[in-house]
Amino acid sequence: MSDIEQAKSLMRIVRRDFNAVLGMADSPLFADEIFGFHAQQAVEKALKAWLCTQNQLYPLTHELPRLLALLGKIGADVEAFMDLDELTTYAVEARYAEGEPGEPCLNRSDVIRKVGALLAHVDSVVAAATTTPKA
């Protein structure tokens, strides 16, 4: 599979996680840990898709700071998305911990806005890479 096809495939998978996030937005039925996990997964896969568009191999990691750093090293402008690294804890650790009463809750609408902005950006990067002729 080409890098662009891999990026497109990842973005289709991203939509499943983001749709789950959207479905949990206003529902107290879903714990922050579950909401955060799907938000983290959407970000992780979107960053990996972005790396694919740059012909970069991505590591098998859940660490969003590491993926953001890799993109930054190749000159991608990731500044607007740096605070998404806070979702890293929801990849593994938060799913296996009981929350403490009174712990701060995720601002779900803020998370949705930030993740949505990343997805829109990566969609545009994928679209641009799809239409750019190869040398």
Encoded tokens for 113: 């806005």
CA 33, CA 94: separation in Å to the nearest integer? 6
How confident is the model at residue 132, as a pLDDT?
72
Encoded tokens for 23: 């479905």
How confident is the model at residue 133, as a pLDDT?
67
Q: Are 6 and 50 in contact (CB under 8 A)?
A: no
**Is the pLDDT confidence value at 37 over 70?**
yes
pLDDT, one tens digit per residue, over 105-116 is: 899 999 999 999
How confident is the model at residue 135, as a pLDDT?
52
**Lowest model confidence (mean pLDDT) among 21-25, 65-69, 130-134:** 130-134
Mean pLDDT of the residues in the chain? 92
pLDDT, one tens digit per residue, over 69-115 is: 999 999 999 999 999 999 999 998 776 776 655 566 899 999 999 99
> If you write DSSP's letter for every residue of 40-77 in order, what string do you get?
HHHHHHHHHHHHHHTT----S---HHHHHHHHHHTT--
Domains, in order of start, for the chain: 3-131 (1.20.120.330)
